[in-house]
Amino acid sequence: MTAISQNASTALLNEKRFPLGLSERIKSIRSLYEEAKVARWDPYRDVAWRGLDATGVDARTAEAARRFWSQRAWTEYTGLAETPALLVRFCLELDREADPKYFLTVRNTEEAWSIECFHRIAEAMGGYLCEPTDAAWKPVYNQHLYKVALDARNALDPYVAVHCALEDGLEYDLFRAFGEHASQPVIRSVLDKVTASKLRHAKFGWLYLETRAARMDHRAREAVASHVVAWVGNVLWQGYHVPSLSSAIDTTCDVEDRRLLAAAGLGAAPAAEEEAVVIDALARARRRLAELDIELPLVQHPRLGGV
C-alpha cells in the first residue's frame, strides 16, 4: 500500500463536465499520444510465435521461465484495471487537460498487448501459472490501484508522480535490462516492443508531473515526496517489481530463476542486476524531482540501507 488512501469504500467525484475543453494544452503529451498511435503493433501479427517453444530448454530452466513470465503478466495486469480507473478520474476532475485522457486510452491497449505476450511466453515454456505458488505473494501483487486512482480523497498529482512517473520509469529500466539478456529471438522481439511502450508511459508521467509542478505550492510538493517514500517502502521494498528486495518472503527460488534465465538468454536479469537497476532508477528520480523543487529523502531498506 502507498500513503494514498486505500479505504474499503471509494469516494467518487461528482461529474462536472462543462465547460468541456478538448483543445491541446500539453503539446508534449499530445505528441506522445500521436506517437503511440503510429507505433501500434499486434501481438499476434507482429511476433513470430512459431519460433518459440521449450525445445532445447532444460526442464529446470523451462520451469523458471514459466514462473518468471507468469509474474510479469501478474504485474502488468495491474494496469489493465488501473489505467481505465485513472482515465475516469481525469475525466471526472473539472478542468483536467484533454491530452492525458487521450494518451491513457492507448496506454491501456499497450498494457493488454504486453499481458498477451507474457502469457503466451509462459504457455510456451510449460504453461501459464494463474497464481503464485507461495500464497505470501498474493497481497504483494494485489495493489488495488484502481481504487486509489478513483478515490476522490486522494490527490491526483501525487498519484501520477508515483505510479506514472517513478513506477513506469522503473519498469522501463527493468525491461531494458531484461532485453539485454534476451538472445532468444521471439522473446527479444517482444521485449523490444514492450520496452518502447514502457518508455512512452514513463515519459507521460514525467511530462505531466513537470507541467503540474510549476503550479504546486510547498505543501503539494511535500505530498508528492511523502507518497513516493510510502510507495518505495510499502510496495517496492516488498518485492513487487524485484522479488529479491522482499525481506518478508523467501526469494531463493526467484533469485535462482533469474540466474538460469539470464544464462539461457530467455529475457530475465540476474537479481543483483535488478537491484542495481532499482538503486540507479531511484537516484535518477531523486535528482529529477529535485529539479522540480521536490525533495525526496533516502528510504531505508533492511539489507541495502538508505536508497
Average pLDDT of the residues of the chain: 94
Instruction: Give the residue among 79, 68, 78, 76 at the shortest CA–CA distance from 133.
Output: 68
pLDDT of the residue at 5 = 52
Structural domain includes residue 133: yes
Residue 126 backbone zone (phi > 0: left; psi -120 to 50: alpha; other: beta): left
Q: Is the pLDDT score of 172 beyond 70?
A: yes
Q: Considering only residues 23 and 257, tell me which one the structure prediction assigns the higher pLDDT.
A: 257
Of 307 and 9, the structure prediction assigns the larger pLDDT to 307
Measuring CA to CA, which residue among 121, 87, 127 is closest to residue 104? 87
Residue 84 domain-assigned (yes or no): yes
Contact (Cβ atoms closer than 8 angstroms) between residue 205 and residue 169: yes
Model pLDDT for residues 220-262, shown as the tens digit of each residue: 999 999 999 999 999 999 999 999 999 999 999 999 999 999 9
CATH number at residue 188: 1.10.620.20
C-alpha–C-alpha distance, residues 268 and 62, integer Å: 13
The alpha helices in 93-184, defined as continuous H runs, are 98-124, 138-141, 145-150, 156-160, 167-180
Summarised one tens digit per residue, pLDDT across range 78-116 is 999 999 999 999 999 888 999 999 999 999 999 999 999
Question: What distance in Å separates the CA atoms of residue 64 and residue 75, rounded to the nearest whole number?
Answer: 17
Separation CA 236–CA 199 (nearest Å): 19
Q: How many helices (H) and strands (E) does the chain have?
A: 11, 2
Q: Which three cell numbers, joined as nine digits, stand for 292? A: 522540480
Q: What is the pLDDT of residues 115-170, one digit of tens each?
A: 999 999 999 999 999 999 999 999 999 988 999 999 999 999 999 999 999 999 99
| Amino acid residing at 203 | K
Domain that holds residue 246: 27-42+55-306
Determine the Cα–Cα distance for residues 18 and 183; give it in Å rounded to an integer. Answer: 53
Give the three cell numbers for residue 35.
506517437
In a domain, 21, yes or no: no
On the CB side of 295, CA atoms within 13 Å amount to 4
Q: Is the pLDDT of residue 1 over 70?
A: no
Lookup: cell for 78: 495491474
Cα–Cα distance list, 31 to 27, 38, 102, 109, 206 (Å):
6, 11, 11, 17, 14
Grid coordinates of 196: 518502447
DSSP code at position 266: B
Whole-number percent of the chain with pLDDT over 90: 89
Domain contains 7 = no
Is 9 inside a domain boundary?
no
Residue 305, φ and ψ in degrees, nearest 5: 80, -150
- Is the pLDDT assigned to residue 35 strictly greater than 50? yes
- Whether residue 6 has pLDDT greater than 60: no
Domain annotation covers residue 143: yes
Assigned C-alpha cell, 257: 530463476
Cell of 12: 467518487
Place of cell 541495502: 304
- Bond from prior residue into 243 cis (ω within 30 degrees of 0): no
50 belongs to a structural domain: no
Please give the torsion angle defined by the CA atoms of residues 47, 53, 54 and 56, in that order, rounded to the nearest 10 degrees: -100
113 domain-assigned: yes
Convert 218-253 to b/e letters by CB count within 10 Å (16 or more is b).
eeebebbbbbbbbbbbebbbbbbbbbbbbeebebee
Number of independent structural domains in the chain: 1
On the 0-12 / 13-18 / 19+ scale of CB atoms within 10 A, 183 is exposed
**Residue with grid cell 539478456, as numbered in its chain:** 181
